[in-house]
Amino acid sequence: MNYNEEGIKAMQEERFEDAVKAFTQAIEENPTETVGYINFGNLLAAMSDTERAERFFQKAISLDENAATAYYGLASLYYNNERFEEAMKLYERAIRAGIEGADAYYMMAKSFEHAGNMKLALPYMQRAAELAPKDVQIRLANAILMCSLEMFDFAKPELEAVLALDENNADAYYNLGVLYAVSTEDVETAKSHLLKALEIAPEFDQAKYIYDMLMQRKD
């Protein structure tokens, strides 16, 4: 019997007691393997048992200093507890240890953002967008980050790419509207994008606020 697989299935089905039993058996069966500790750490994190989850991730790292998923799990634990400086260091360790996919780069970028360093966030966000070109959340976050750095010429095609992936993305229309409003004289295009955002999401207060401001602007 594969206790790790059994535990993951129980965890996905929110049978947490069964997951605890399965991961405990996995660790008892193979106490020097990292997988059981990492799975148990993920389970405890999902149960908001931060202190114990931290210990299990750290145990996995003590057994294998290249356990990429242990670094990632611990980084996410710290991120969710707003320990962003620690999180970014561990996401970096996960990347260096060979974790695959865009998520670690994305979370690294978000950690830098929360720590207030947008410029250092940018290369990680761009790398995440390169690795996941069809991920709307990542592409939108990349565009918004570039807007915050006033890189409007780069942000515009990125927002248009988001709309190509999701034509009903109110946030993309809103950010395009703001981009036109602050970086061009094309008020009509800015308003049309904001109206589209409001058409999709009528309770989008920020879009309404900016639109009303533009309506009051004199030619």
As a whole number of angstroms, the distance between CA 46 and CA 113 comes to 24
pLDDT band at 219 (very low <50, low <70, confident <90, very high): low
Tokens of 36: 């059981």
From residue 135, give the alpha-carbon distance in Å to each of 80, 138, 142, 177.
21, 6, 11, 22
Domains and their CATH numbers in the chain = 152-219 (1.25.40.10)
DSSP string for residues in 117-161: -HHHHHHHHHHHHHH-TT-HHHHHHHHHHHHHTT-HHHHHHHHHH
pLDDT of residue 218: 57
pLDDT of residue 217: 76
pLDDT of residue 101: 93
> Largest Cα–Cα distance of the chain, in whole Å?
75
- pLDDT for residue 51 is more than 70: yes
Phi/psi class of residue 116: alpha, beta or left (left: φ > 0; alpha: ψ in -120 to 50)?
Answer: left
Question: 217: buried, middle or exposed (CB in 10 Å: 19+, 13-18, 0-12)?
Answer: exposed
Question: Of all residues in the chain, what percent carry a pLDDT higher than 90?
Answer: 98
For the stretch 74-132, pLDDT in tens is 999 999 999 999 999 999 999 999 999 999 999 999 999 999 999 999 999 999 999 99
